[in-house]
Amino acid sequence: MAEKGGKGFSLGKGSGKSASQKTPSFKDDANFKFSAKSGGKLETPVGGKGGKAANGGIAKGPVPKEPAKYELSIEKELPTTAQCLMDCEAANILQGVQEQMIILSRDPTVKLPVSFDRGIQYAKPGSRYTNPQRVRQVLQRLKKYGVSDGEICAIANIYPETVDEVFALVSSLKANRSKLAEPLKDIILSAVVEAKPVVSSSSRLHCPASGIVLSSSLNVNSSVMFPDVKLELKARSIDMGSSTLICHTEAWQDLKAHVEDINRTHLRHLMSDNERCKSMMVEFDGMMLDYSRQRATDETMDKLFKLAEVAHLKENITSMYNGDHINKTENRSVLHVALRAPRDSVIRCDGKNVVPDVWKVLDQIHDFSEKVRNSSWVGVTGKTLKDVISIGIGGSYLGPLFVHTALQTDPEAIECAGSRQLRFLANVDPVDVARNITGLNPETTLVVVVSKTFTTAETMLNARTLREWISTALGPAAVSKHMVAVSTNLTLVEKFGIDPNNAFAFWDWVGGRYSVCSAVGMLPLSLQYGFPVVEKFLRGASSIDQHFYSAPFQKNLPVLLGLLSVWNVSFLGYPTRAILPYSQALEKFAPHIQQVSMESNGKGVSIDGVPLPFEAGEVDFGEPGTNGQHSFYQLIHQGRVIPCDFIGVVKSQQPVWLKGELVTNHDELMSNFFAQPDALAYGKTPEELQKENVPQHLVPHKTFIGNRPSLSLLLPSLNAYNIGQLLAIYEHRIAVEGFTWGVNSFDQWGVELGKSLASQVRKQLHESHTKGEPVKGFNFSTTIMLNKYLEEFSDGKGELTTTMLPRM
C-alpha cells in the first residue's frame, strides 16, 4: 500500500506575515521592530482508507457478538494507492477536506456533494484519541506479528480495554491468538489507553468496522469514498495553511489532555503553593493582577503560551499595530491603538501615518469643547449650552457611557464638569427620548449625534426626534447651533442638516465597539469634563497599548487575561464570565465589555470562514460588588461555575469614614473584594461545618465545593488615566481571545439579519397604518402577533396625524 500522506495538505496557521515595513512607534520606544515568525505549519498526512471495515456505519447499539462476515474485506478492494486510516486520522483529514471544500464552494464551477457532512459525522465519533500519531506509532509495532493495516485501524477504532475485546471484535486476528495475545496486552492496551482521553465505558462506541477510504492525494482529481457515498472533488491544489483551525493543533490537544491533570487538583491545594501564587501575580504601572485563583498551574500557563505561539498571537498583534487589514471580511485595518497614540508616534494605515489625522480631530474637539464650555459657542438664543445629549447606540454609546459613569465621581472630573450635564440617548424606545429630554431646555442643550455609519435606524430616528424637539422650540435655524455630529460618513451628516464644519470625523479602521477613544467618546466627554481630562484618559489607554505590544507574554496583562479566558471557555468548559467591579463608578463597565466581547468573539466560523467545531466567545455579565453579592452570587458560589473578574481600587474616589466605625466605608467594600475570591476558591467542607456544630440536615446546604476560579485586578485609583488603562486591558484581552480562537474579532455580521427583518416589519406597519393594508408575507405566529399589535389602530384610535413628542 502506498505511503500515507505523500502530498498532504498542511494544517498549519498559514505563513506568518513577514516582517512588515510598517512599524508603529511610540515616543518612548521609537523602535518597535518585529520580526514575524513564519511557518509553524503542522503537516497532517493524507492517505488511504479508513480504519473501520465496511459495515456501513458506526454501531451505536451493544457490541456485536460476532463481527460482520465481510469485516476488513474492503482492504482487498482498495486501489494500490490507498491505505487504511484509523477513525481519528480520517476525521482529521476529513475536517481538512471540509475546509478545502468550503474554499472550493466559493467557486461556482465546483459542485459540492451534499452528502459530505455524512462522512464527517461518520468519522468524528471515532476521533477520540488525543494523540493519533502516538496511537499509530504504537500499533504499528504489531505489523511484525503479521497484523495488517486494516486490522491495526480496526483495533484502534474499538478502543479496546481487554485483549479479549480485540479478538472478539477483530475476528481475523483470532487465528493468531496465541502469538498476538502478549504483544497486544503489552503494546496496545497500555499505550492506546494512555493516548486517549477518558471515555466512560457506557459512552464508548464500539466501532469494529468502517469504510472511509481516501486516495493517497487530495490535491489532484481526488476521490473520497464513504461506504455509501462517493464524492468527486475538482482538481485543485490549495494551501490549507491559512485556514487551519486552532483546535486541530497539537498545542490545543495538549491542553485538552491537560484538563485531566487540573481536574485532579483543587484550588484549596493550589493556593497553598506560595511559589505558584507568586508566579501568578503581575504588576504593571501600579496595577496588580493576581490570577492564582485560576484553575491553572505553571504547566497550564506554559501550554497556553505554546498555544499562543501556534496561534501566531505575537504576529497577529504586530499585524494589528502595523495596520494590516486584519478585519478580513471588511478588508479593513484595526487601529484603535492609533486613537490614543502620542502625537509624535507613527502608526500607518495603507502606508499613511494616521496619527496626525487623529490629533487633528482631537485638536478640533479640544477647540470646540473649550468654546462651548467657555460660552464662546452659545445656543441660538445666546444662552450657554450647559447640557449635552449624546445620541448613539452600541459602540457609539456603551463605551462613552462607561467612561462618563466612571468619571462622574472622580474629584478632578467633578470639578471640571461644574454644573454641566451629559446624557445618553440610545434606545429607539420613545421612553428613552422622554427620559433624556425631561428637565432639559432646548435653549441650553447641545445634541451630539454619534454614528459611525450615520445610517443606524435607532440613532437616526432619535436624531430626527431631537431635531424636531429643537426646531419646534427654537425654529429650524437652531439646528446648526444645537446639533453636531461624529461620524465616518460626513456626506450623510451634511444631508441630515448638520453643518459639516460641526462634524467630527473618525475612520473605517476604528470598529464601533472600539471607538470610545475617537470623537465618539472624546467629544461628549470633553464637552462635559474638558479636554485635559480626556487626554489623561487617552494616556492611560496608550500606556496599556505599549505594554500589550512589547511586554513578554508572561508579564503581559491582556495576554494573560485573554489566554486564561480561552482556557476557561474552551478547555474547562466555563462559557460565562462575571465582571465584578468593587466600585460603583464602574457600574457601566460590564455592559460595555459585554458588547466588546460578545460582538467581537461571538462567531461561528474562523477568520477564513471555516465552521468552528468548538464554541468561541464567552457570555459576559456583571454588576458592581457588593450589589451583585445580594443578587446572583448564590449561583456563583453553589450553582454553576462562573469564572469571575474581581476589580478593586485601592483609593476610593469618594472616601467616607464615620467616627466610631471600625473601618472606612471603602474598607468595608474592599473587605468583600478580598473575601469573595477565597470563598469561591476554598469553599467550605462538611468537616468544617461539623466542627462548627452545624446541624446535620443543613450540612449539604451549607457545603461549598469551592474550586471556583477567579482573578483579581487591583487598581491604585480610579481617575481618568486608570479608567483608560482598564478599557484598553479588556479591549486587548478580547483581541487575544479572538486571535487565539482564530476568529475575526472585528466584524459583526451577526447583527445584520435582525436589522433587515425589522425593515420588512417597518414597511408593513407603515402600509397598515396609512393604507389599512392587511399583514402579509410573514409566518403564522408573526402574522398573529402583528395583527394583535395593529388592533389598537383599527378603529382609528391610534391614527397618526400630527407630530407627537414625549409629555413627561
Ligand X SMILES: O=P(O)(O)OC[C@H]1O[C@](O)(CO)[C@@H](O)[C@@H]1O
Helix %, strand %, coil % of the chain (to 5) = 50, 10, 40
- How far apart, in whole angstroms, are the C-alpha atoms of residue 209 and residue 231? 21
Q: Which is nearer to ligand X, 151 or 599 (CB)?
A: 599
Q: Pick the stretch among 121-129, 389-397, 407-415, 607-615 that binds ligand X (CB under 6 A).
A: 389-397
Q: How far is CA 248 from CA 89, 123, 545, 703, 760, in A?
A: 11, 15, 31, 40, 42
Residues 292-331 close enough to bind ligand X by CB under 6 A: none
CB neighbour class for 277 (10 Å; exposed up to 12, middle 13-18, buried from 19): middle
Encoded one letter per residue, x for contact with ligand X by CB under 6 A and - for no contact, window 501-520 reads -----------xx-------
Separate counts of helices (H) and strands (E) for the chain: 31, 16
Q: How far is CA 669 from CA 581, 627, 655, 666, 720, in A?
A: 11, 10, 11, 5, 21
How many CB atoms are located within 10 Å of the residue 515 CB? 26
At residue 388, the 3 state secondary structure works out as strand
Q: Which is nearer to ligand X, 151 or 747 (CB)?
A: 747
The separation between the first and the last C-alpha atoms of the chain, rounded to the nearest angstrom, is 83
Of 393, 403, 479, 790, which one interacts with ligand X (CB under 6 A)? 393
- How far apart, in whole angstroms, are the C-alpha atoms of residue 713 and residue 725? 12
Q: Pick the stretch among 242-250, 387-395, 498-506, 571-579 that binds ligand X (CB under 6 A).
A: 387-395
Render 284-345 in DSSP notation, one character per residue: ETTEEEE-TTSS--HHHHHHHHHHHHHTTHHHHHHHHHHT---BGGGTB---GGGGGS-TT-
Of 303, 348, 366, 452, which one interacts with ligand X (CB under 6 A)? 452
Q: Which is nearer to ligand X, 8 or 394 (CB)?
A: 394
Kindly state whether residue 245 participates in binding ligand X, applying the rule CB under 6 A. no
- How far apart, in whole angstroms, are the C-alpha atoms of residue 534 and residue 679? 38
DSSP 346: B
φ, ψ dihedrals at 298, nearest 5°: -60, -35
Kindly state whether residue 394 participates in binding ligand X, applying the rule CB under 6 A. yes
CB of 754 to ligand X, least distance (A): 9
At residue 378, the 3 state secondary structure works out as strand
Q: Pick the stretch among 186-194, 279-287, 449-457, 793-801 that binds ligand X (CB under 6 A).
A: 449-457
Of 453, 627, 664, 787, which one interacts with ligand X (CB under 6 A)? 453
C-alpha cell at 511: 470598529
Kindly state whether residue 10 participates in binding ligand X, applying the rule CB under 6 A. no
Q: Which residues 6+ apart lie within 8 Å of 772 measured at CB?
A: none
Kindly state whether residue 594 participates in binding ligand X, applying the rule CB under 6 A. no
- How far apart, in whole angstroms, are the C-alpha atoms of residue 96 and residue 218? 10
Length of the chain: 808
CB of 226 to ligand X, least distance (A): 42
Q: Which is nearer to ligand X, 89 or 458 (CB)?
A: 458
Kindly state whether residue 459 participates in binding ligand X, applying the rule CB under 6 A. yes
Q: Which is nearer to ligand X, 599 or 645 (CB)?
A: 599
Q: Which is nearer to ligand X, 114 or 753 (CB)?
A: 753
630 Rama sector, left if φ>0, alpha if ψ -120 to 50, beta otherwise = alpha
Q: Which is nearer to ligand X, 22 or 452 (CB)?
A: 452
- How far apart, in whole angstroms, are the C-alpha atoms of residue 571 and residue 253? 10
Kindly state whether residue 751 participates in binding ligand X, applying the rule CB under 6 A. yes
How many CB atoms are located within 10 Å of the residue 271 CB? 17
CB of 292 to ligand X, least distance (A): 36
Kindly state whether residue 395 participates in binding ligand X, applying the rule CB under 6 A. yes
CB of 778 to ligand X, least distance (A): 23
CB of 495 to ligand X, least distance (A): 15
- How far apart, in whole angstroms, are the C-alpha atoms of residue 45 and residue 98? 15
Kindly state whether residue 456 participates in binding ligand X, applying the rule CB under 6 A. yes
Q: Which is nearer to ligand X, 339 or 393 (CB)?
A: 393
Q: Which of 755, 763, 766, 776 is catalytic?
A: 755
Q: Pick the stretch among 437-445, 446-454, 651-659, 681-689 that binds ligand X (CB under 6 A).
A: 446-454
Render 40-57 in DSSP notation, one character per residue: ---B----SBBSS-SSSS
At residue 200, the 3 state secondary structure works out as coil
Q: Which is nearer to ligand X, 377 or 397 (CB)?
A: 397
Q: Pick the stretch among 391-399, 423-431, 762-770, 777-785 that binds ligand X (CB under 6 A).
A: 391-399
Alpha helices in 631-772 (DSSP H): 633-638, 665-682, 686-691, 699-702, 720-741, 752-771
Q: Which of 89, 599, 618, 731 is catalytic?
A: 599
- How far apart, in whole angstroms, are the C-alpha atoms of residue 297 and residue 278? 12
CB of 447 to ligand X, least distance (A): 15
- Nearest residue to ligand X on Cβ basis: 512
Q: Pick the stretch among 85-93, 393-401, 501-509, 646-654 that binds ligand X (CB under 6 A).
A: 393-401
C-alpha cell at 539: 494616556
Residues 766-795 close enough to bind ligand X by CB under 6 A: none
Are the C-beta atoms of residues 58 and 210 closer than 8 Å to each other? Answer: yes
- How far apart, in whole angstroms, are the C-alpha atoms of residue 115 and residue 113? 5
At residue 242, the 3 state secondary structure works out as helix
Q: Which is nearer to ligand X, 51 or 524 (CB)?
A: 524
CB of 395 to ligand X, least distance (A): 3
CB of 354 to ligand X, least distance (A): 19
CB of 752 to ligand X, least distance (A): 8
Q: Pick the stretch among 252-260, 451-459, 680-688, 724-732 that binds ligand X (CB under 6 A).
A: 451-459
Q: How far is CA 366 from CA 350, 504, 534, 627, in A?
A: 27, 11, 10, 37
Kindly state whether residue 52 participates in binding ligand X, applying the rule CB under 6 A. no
Q: Pick the stretch among 140-148, 203-211, 285-293, 448-456 that binds ligand X (CB under 6 A).
A: 448-456
Are the C-beta atoms of residues 600 and 745 closer than 8 Å to each other? Answer: yes
Q: Which is nearer to ligand X, 20 or 459 (CB)?
A: 459
CB of 451 to ligand X, least distance (A): 3
CB of 392 to ligand X, least distance (A): 6
Residues 126-185 close enough to bind ligand X by CB under 6 A: none
Q: Which of 630, 651, 766, 776 is catalytic?
A: 630
Q: Which residues 6+ apart lie within 8 Å of 426 measured at CB?
A: 391, 392, 393, 397, 401, 432, 458, 462
CB of 639 to ligand X, least distance (A): 32
Q: Which is nearer to ligand X, 393 or 616 (CB)?
A: 393
Q: Which is nearer to ligand X, 453 or 576 (CB)?
A: 453
In the annotation, is 599 catalytic? yes
Kindly state whether residue 597 participates in binding ligand X, applying the rule CB under 6 A. no
- How far apart, in whole angstroms, are the C-alpha atoms of residue 162 and residue 184? 9
Q: Which residues 6+ apart lie within 8 Å of 283 measured at CB?
A: 289
- How far apart, in whole angstroms, are the C-alpha atoms of residue 621 and residue 708? 17
Kindly state whether residue 748 participates in binding ligand X, applying the rule CB under 6 A. yes
Kindly state whether residue 390 participates in binding ligand X, applying the rule CB under 6 A. no
Kindly state whether residue 451 participates in binding ligand X, applying the rule CB under 6 A. yes
CB of 747 to ligand X, least distance (A): 9
Q: How many residues bind ligand X (CB under 6 A)?
A: 14
Kindly state whether residue 442 participates in binding ligand X, applying the rule CB under 6 A. no
Q: Pick the stretch among 186-194, 208-216, 417-425, 452-460 that binds ligand X (CB under 6 A).
A: 452-460
Are the C-beta atoms of residues 517 and 337 closer than 8 Å to each other? Answer: no
Of 396, 465, 546, 556, which one interacts with ligand X (CB under 6 A)? 396
Report the interface residues with ligand X, using CB under 6 A.
393-396, 451-453, 456, 459, 512-513, 599, 748, 751
Active site residues: 599, 630, 755
